[in-house]
C-alpha cells in the first residue's frame, strides 16, 4: 500500500485510511451471508479498520462481525462504541466486556464514546483507562464531539483520546471550520462515518460530471474526496462484495486540483462555525 493509504494515530500507529462500517448489518437474516462475505472481502482488499457499536442492532451487528472475523481477527483494527448511558466508570467496563463476548475477541483496538450523554467525562475516561490497563482495549476515543466538548474532555483528563468519529462528507463540511484544525493541531485523525452522506447526495452535481469523465460513479468520486482529506479515515458500509470492491477502487482515485476546485465551488467549505451534525 502507498503511504497515503494510512492515517496516523497520536502515538504513531498507522491504520488504514479506508475501512468498513457496519451500521444496520446483522439485522436481516436473508442478508447475513452476503454481509459476512462483504466484510471478509474488504479485509482481503486492505480495508482493515472495521467499526461497529453496541447500539447497532442492540448487539446483533457485533455478533455478525464476530462470525465474519473468524480466523481474521489479527488482520483487523477493530473498533466499537459504548452507549452514553453506559459510559460510567463501571458501565464502560461492563459494556466493553459484553462487546468482546459478542465479537468473540479478547480486545478492541479502539473503543469510542458513541456521543456525549449525561455522565461526566472524568468517569468515562477512568473506565477507558482501566480497560486499557487490563489489555481489553488498546486505544480509546470519542464520536460526535464538537470543539467545546473536546476541550472539556482534555480538561477532564482525556489527553489520551486517539480519534473523534464524526459525520463528515462532501455535503457536510462543517467540521473543516474549527473541529478538524483543532484535531490536526493535536495529531488526532478523524474517522468519517457516512462518507457518502448515507446515499443522500444530490441526484445531479459536479460529482456526476467528474464521474462520467473518469468512468466512475458519483459515489466513488464523493468517497475519493473524503479520502483526499488529510488525516481522515473513512468507514463506508457495504453489504455486498461488489459494493466493497467499488469502495476500494475509490482509494486509487486521485482528484486533480481542477476537480477539487470544482467540488469546492459546488459544495462550499464553511466560512463560519457550523454546529456538528449527527446522523
Neighbours of 119 (CB within 10 A): 18
Checking DSSP bridges between strand 108-113 and strand 190-193, what pairing results, if any? unpaired
User: What does 75-109 look like in DSSP terms, one character per residue?
Assistant: G-EEEEEE-GGG-SHHHHHHHHHHHHHHHT-S-EE
At 136 the pLDDT is: 98
Domains of the chain, each with CATH number or no CATH: 14-266 (3.20.20.100)
* 61 close to 88: Cβ distance less than 8 angstroms: no
Output the pLDDT for position 203: 86
| HSE-CB for 16 with a 13 A CA cutoff | 26
pLDDT, one tens digit for every residue, the chain (279 residues): 346 899 999 999 999 999 999 999 999 999 999 999 999 999 999 999 999 999 999 999 999 999 999 999 999 999 999 999 999 999 999 999 999 999 999 999 999 999 999 999 999 999 999 999 999 999 999 999 999 999 999 999 999 999 999 999 999 999 999 999 999 999 999 999 999 998 888 889 999 999 999 999 999 999 999 999 999 999 999 999 999 999 999 999 999 999 999 999 999 999 999 999 998
Residue 74: CA count within 13 A, CB half-sphere: 1
- d(C-alpha 155, C-alpha 166), whole Å: 21
The 8-class DSSP code of residue 45 comes to T
pLDDT value at residue 3: 61
Amino acid at each position: 500500500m502507498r503511504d497515503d493509504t494510512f492515517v496516523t494515530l497520536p502515538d504513531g500507529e498507522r491504520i488504514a485510511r479506508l475501512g468498513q462500517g457496519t451500521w444496520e448489518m446483522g439485522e436481516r437474516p436473508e442478508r447475513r451471508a452476503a454481509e459476512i462475505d462483504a466484510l471478509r472481502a474488504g479485509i482481503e482488499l486492505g480495508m482493515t479498520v472495521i467499526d461497529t457499536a453496541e447500539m447497532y442492532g442492540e448487539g446483533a451487528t457485533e455478533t455478525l462481525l464476530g462470525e465474519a472475523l473468524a480466523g481474521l481477527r489479527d488482520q483487523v483494527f477493530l473498533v466499537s462504541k459504548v452507549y452514553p448511558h453506559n459510559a460510567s466508570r463501571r458501565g464502560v467496563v461492563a459494556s466493553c466486556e459484553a462487546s468482546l463476548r459478542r465479537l468473540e475477541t479478547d480486545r478492541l483496538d479502539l473503543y469510542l464514546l458513541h456521543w456525549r450523554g449525561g455522565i461526566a467525562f472524568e468517569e468515562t475516561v477512568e473506565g477507558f483507562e482501566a480497560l486499557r490497563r487490563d489489555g481489553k482495549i488498546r486505544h480509546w476515543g470519542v464520536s460526535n464531539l464538537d470543539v467545546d466538548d473536546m476541550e472539556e474532555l482534555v480538561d477532564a483528563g482525556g489527553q489520551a483520546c486517539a480519534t473523534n468519529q464524526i459525520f463528515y462528507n462532501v455535503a457536510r463540511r462543517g467540521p473543516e471550520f474549527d473541529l478538524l484544525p483543532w484535531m490536526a493541531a493535536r495529531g488526532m485523525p478523524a474517522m468519517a462515518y457516512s462518507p457518502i452522506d448515507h446515499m443522500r447526495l444530490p441526484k445531479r452535481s459536479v460529482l456526476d460530471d467528474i464521474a462520467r469523465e473518469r468512468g466512475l460513479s458519483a459515489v466513488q468520486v464523493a468517497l475519493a474526496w473524503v479520502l483526499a482529506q488529510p488525516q481522515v479515515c473513512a468507514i463506508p458500509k457495504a453489504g455486498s462484495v461488489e459494493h466493497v470492491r467499488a469502495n476500494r477502487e475509490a482509494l486509487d482515485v486521485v482528484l486533480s486540483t481542477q476537480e477539487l476546485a470544482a467540488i469546492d465551488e459546488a459544495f462550499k467549505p464553511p466560512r463560519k462555525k457550523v454546529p456538528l451534525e449527527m446522523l
